[in-house]
Amino acid sequence: MDCIFCKIANKEIPSNLVYESENTVAFNDINPAAPVHILVIPKKHIESLNELNDKDLMAELLFSVKEVCKKLNITDYRTVINTGKEAGQEVFHIHLHIISGRPLKWPPG
């Protein structure tokens, strides 16, 4: 399967990894929307939140968000999961965005 995030998780292509847990990795977004823009993904290929049924992995993904922020001293941040094309999902390997480093508007639009 040709999935860019699988390749990053398997370290087949270089990325700026900032954190790794047993079943997740986190790396810098290649096209950052803010001064801090990190993606947390499962090592296993899962297309979107709709296909994620493993509650332990769900917890580990969200816990990894906290661990990344703790490690990088990020206290104020937004966590986003885009699910499906209309919601803005472009890469169909589930990822949690961590966005920080500037004031963020709400609602996002």
Q: Which position among 90, 103, 107, 108 is part of the footprint of ligand AMP (CB under 6 A)? A: 90
Q: What separation in angstroms does the CA of 66 have from each of 3, 16, 52, 70, 72?
A: 26, 18, 19, 6, 10
Pick from 88, 101, 102, 104 the residue near ligand AMP by CB under 6 A: 88
17 binds, among Zn ion, ligand AMP, none (CB under 5 to 8 A by kind): none
For ligand AMP, the binding residues in 14-53 under the rule CB under 6 A are 15, 29-31, 39
- Strands across the sheet with 78-80, in order? 17-20, 24-28, 36-42, 96-100, 78-80
Q: In the complex, what is the shortest distance from the CB of residue 42 to ligand AMP, in angstroms, rounded to a whole number? A: 14
**How much helix, strand and coil, in percent to the nearest 5, is found in the chain?**
25, 20, 50
Question: Is 97 part of the annotated catalytic residue set?
Answer: no
64 interacts with ligand AMP by CB under 6 A:
no
> 64 and 19 in contact (C-beta within 8 Å)?
yes
Residues labelled catalytic: 95
Residues that bind ligand AMP in the complex, under the rule CB under 6 A = 4, 15, 29-31, 39, 82, 88-91
